[in-house]
Amino acid sequence: MPTLKRSPHLKTPARRQTAAEFLELQRLMAGTVMQPLTPAGNMRPTWQDGCRMQAVAAEFIKANDRLTSFERLEIYNRQYWYRLKDCFFEDYPGLRAILGPDRFERMAIAYLAQCPSESFTLRNLGRRLVAFLEANPRWIKPFVKPALDMARLEWAHIEAFDNEAKPRLQLESLSGADPESIHLELQPHLSLLQLGYELDKLLLKAKSGQGLRDEASNASDGKRAASRSRAQSPLKAKTIFLAVHRANESVFYKRLLPGQFRLLSAFRSGQSLAAACESLISDTTNPVDPSKITEWFQTWAGLGWFCENS
């Protein structure tokens, strides 16, 4: 978070403040509220410039007969972080299952401090998580590969849940068209993933069992240990290809064959129908029966994966 310098204008009466001074006040308020809490869950005792937080809070928060300026500001600081952490925990149950609750919480705090919410909706809270973990793998050691894959899968789930659904493409509209000129567009809510583990099964189990998380309750040490043991059980490596999509207002994970994944990925990259199919059929290392491609198209069209070109 960038360092915010406090100006003496903050002591100017509100009726005489300029628009620029009000903007500075808003930035200071946001900076104090968004600063990470202490490990004990309290507001930090010092501000970015080393001044005591009690003095900083008194500059722009009025005390009352029950709470000091610091205590009033601390309420907002805590609620901001509790809300963000709750949303993050709800959005990433699979990643939490892999890392375990303690390691996950440390990672979440580090991520949210470096990548604070910049959107009007908390739906976008994890938009930068994969890039953050790739740049800072220490937060997910020793589960780097499955954790990164799970972060990709869970972001794909978020995208599938509420991303745009364009009007479906009717395959009949392509009749008679030159395959070289046909470029198929995939639905924005559809994600194509190559994963190194069977994380779709793990995520479904994590979601089916999620509720009030142990670390947010008064769980006993025994329950914490059991949760940690389950979370850190070894995952067996296995390459899978997955389509994450929405149908009837629900999110689904559909396993794909390698050829199906390659073909759909070719469409998403902008290849023409003719070029994508020819590349797949001519591949001698992983040959595909041309008759199967027709079946795939019918299935995908039935699922609404193709949309009208924008």
pTM above 0.85, yes or no: no
The yes-or-no verdict on residue 264 having pLDDT over 70 is: yes
| The pLDDT value given to residue 239 | 96
pLDDT in tens, 123-139: 999 999 999 999 999 99
Least confident of 105-119, 230-244, 275-289: 230-244
Predicted local distance difference test score (pLDDT) of residue 208: 86
- Of 75-84, 246-255, 286-295, the range with the lowest mean pLDDT is 286-295
281-286 mean pLDDT = 81
Residue 247 near residue 303, CB atoms below 8 Å: yes
Q: What is each CA distance from 309 to 201, 272, 281, in whole angstroms?
A: 33, 13, 25
Whole-number mean pLDDT of the chain?
86
The reported pLDDT for the residue numbered 10 is 57
Q: Looking at 79-83, 167-171, 287-291, which range is the least confident one?
A: 287-291
What pLDDT band is residue 101 in, cutting at 50, 70 and 90?
Answer: very high
Q: What is the pLDDT of residues 38-66, one digit of tens each?
A: 989 999 999 988 999 999 999 889 999 99
Lowest-confidence region among 16-30, 110-124, 167-181, 287-301: 16-30
pLDDT at 175 over 70: yes
Domain ranges of the chain: 1-89
* CA–CA distance, 5 with 113 (Å, rounded to integer): 19
What average pLDDT does the segment 97-110 reach?
95
The DSSP call for residue 151 is H
Q: Rounded mean pLDDT of 66-91? A: 95
Return the top range by mean pLDDT from 24-28, 229-233, 299-303.
299-303
pLDDT for the residue numbered 236: 87
User: Is residue 103 over pLDDT 90?
Assistant: yes
HSE (side-chain half, CA atoms, 13 Å) at 237? 4
* Mean of pLDDT values over 233-239: 82
Question: Is it the case that residue 216 has pLDDT exceeding 90?
Answer: no
Q: What amino acid is encoded at 202 in this protein? A: L
pLDDT value at 221 more than 60:
no
> β-pairing, 185-186 with 237-247?
unpaired
- Mean pLDDT of the 84-106 span: 95
Q: Up-side HSE of residue 254: CA atoms within 13 Å toward CB?
A: 22
pLDDT at 231: 45
